[in-house]
Amino acid sequence: MLVVGRSQVETLLDMDALIDALASAMTDLSAGRAAAPDRVAATVPERDGFLAAMPGYVPSAGALTSKLVSVFPRNAGTPLPTHQALIVAFDPDTGEPTALLDGTALTAARTAACSALSARLLARADASVLALLGTGAQARSHARAMCRVRPLRHIRVAGRNPDHATALAAELSAELGIPAEAVASYAQALDGADIAAATTHAVDPVVRRPWLTPGVHVTSVGFNPAGREVDDATIADALVCVESRQAALAPFPAGSNDLLHPIRDGVITADHVHAELGELLTGSRPGRTAPDQITLYKSVGVAVQDAAAAALVVEAARERSAGTHLDLN
């Protein structure tokens, strides 16, 4: 079995190739060719955390994987990530386990890459100002991904901890060569932003309709069983797209409070979810229809994303003789 660690995953996973691979995976999923059952989880109530299992199969990638991911929001602000994961890859012809990969870096990258894919499909072509809401691994990964699909010229960073926002802005400016600044509030970050990436564990919404500029594309990837990232008014006004209707509208631990709560409260119906990314890619559902339209991609994370990303890592590791081989016999 091939074992690939976190730093190796980060080195081997090319963001441009990942965005393209996810486009194929999303198309497979919407067409019914891929398999991604709703995730299941064992909860740890005393720590507000859970451990989830996510098996997936993507025929276009020849990928069969299962991920174990722990989500512990109380890790925010500590050296430990809020999301930690392992992924096992299996031979889709025989079912033999073939690789064990760090899933923490992979999850951050594939989540951001799919947000970037949504921006490629829905953001205005001239979108150039990015608002990053949150200062953790997902915020960092989203900045790296979004600059691959739109001509970013400015990044604003906002979070609960001003020092973390300042540090991330400085890091992104140096790494990406794009001016980035820390701002004092989520509202300030969103003012005039063309793309907004919400990457928090917020209890109360960090994306609110009065703060949004016409034509903004919002991506929301944060998860908190007790809260939500996006307010009702934004959900009601936006063209809403998801990875999978089934996953996004499923009960905990699979679905999204950002959609389930306004449906429960009669603000919207399930039909308000306009399209899956795979439907946008095939043209079976239209995307943005006007420059001032607000578009929203609500992500819950689906296993086909992990499978497609893992396939890229395993292929690259074999080509470069990277990783360690472990005999389980």
- Give me the residues paired with residue 222 across strands: none
Return the C-alpha torsion angle 219, 12, 21, 61, nearest 10: -140
- The answer for residues whose C-beta is within 8 angstroms of residue 46's C-beta and 6 or more apart is none
The string of pLDDT tens digits covering residues 224-241 is: 888 999 999 999 999 999
The string of pLDDT tens digits covering residues 58-117 is: 999 999 999 999 999 888 878 898 889 999 999 999 999 999 999 999 999 999 999 999
Tell me: pLDDT of 301 over 90.
yes
Largest CA distance in the chain: 60
Residue 97 sits at φ, ψ, to 5 deg, of -65, 130
The larger pLDDT score, comparing residue 274 to residue 77, is at 274
User: What average pLDDT does range 199-216 have in this prediction?
Assistant: 96
Give the single-character DSSP code of 166.
Answer: H
Prediction pTM value? 0.96
Q: Where in the chain is the domain with CATH 3.40.50.720?
A: 124-301
The predicted pLDDT at position 284 comes to: 97
User: What gap in Å lies between CA 34 and CA 51, rounded to an integer?
Assistant: 23
Query: What distances in angstroms separate CA 102 from CA 15, 75, 108, 303, 306, one per listed residue?
Result: 17, 18, 11, 15, 11
- The CA-to-CA distance between both ends of the chain, in Å, stands at 10
Top-level CATH class of 124-301? Answer: alpha beta
Return the C-alpha torsion angle 169, 175, 178, 180, nearest 10: 0
Q: Is 3.30.1780.10 the CATH classification of the domain at 2-107+304-325?
A: yes
Q: Where in the chain is the domain with CATH 3.30.1780.10?
A: 2-107+304-325
Alpha-helical runs (H) found in 224-273: 232-237, 245-248, 257-264
